[in-house]
Amino acid sequence: MDIGSTAFWLALGQIVWINILLSGDNAVVIALAARSLPPKQQKQAIMIGSGAAIVMRIVLTLVAAQLLQLPWLKLIGAALLVYIGVTLVLPEDEEEGDGKEASGMVAAVRTILIADLVMSLDNVIAVAAAAKGDTLLLIVGLAMSIPLVIFGSTLLLKVIERFPIVVWLGAGLLGFIAGEIVVDDPAIKDSLIAAAGQAGLPAAKLGLVSGLMGVALVLLIGWVMSRRQKSGGHGATGH
Write the pLDDT tens digit of every residue in 129-158.
777 777 787 777 777 766 765 665 445 556
Instruction: Report the run of H or E that residue 89 belongs to, with start and end.
Output: helix 73-89
Q: Is residue 238 part of a domain?
A: no
Q: Is residue 215 part of a domain?
A: yes
Q: Is residue 51 part of a domain?
A: yes
Residue type, 39: P
pTM greater than 0.75: no
Write the pLDDT tens digit of every residue in 192-218.
989 988 888 888 889 899 999 999 999
Radius of gyration of the chain (CA): 19
Tell me which DSSP letter residue 120 carries.
Answer: T
Burial class (CB in 10 A: 0-12, 13-18, 19+), 65: buried
Q: Which domain does 214 fall in, by range?
A: 6-231
Number of domains in the chain: 1
Q: Is residue 42 part of a domain?
A: yes
Distance (Å, whole) CA 64 – CA 129: 9
Residues in the chain: 239
Q: Are 44 and 138 in contact (CB under 8 A)?
A: no
Helices (H), 90-205: 105-119, 121-131, 135-162, 165-182, 189-198
Q: Is residue 168 part of a domain?
A: yes
Q: Is residue 1 part of a domain?
A: no
- % the chain with pLDDT above 90: 8
Q: Is residue 134 part of a domain?
A: yes
Residue 25: pLDDT over 80 = no
Q: Is residue 237 part of a domain?
A: no
Smallest Cα–Cα separation from 26: which of 124, 105, 173, 139? 124
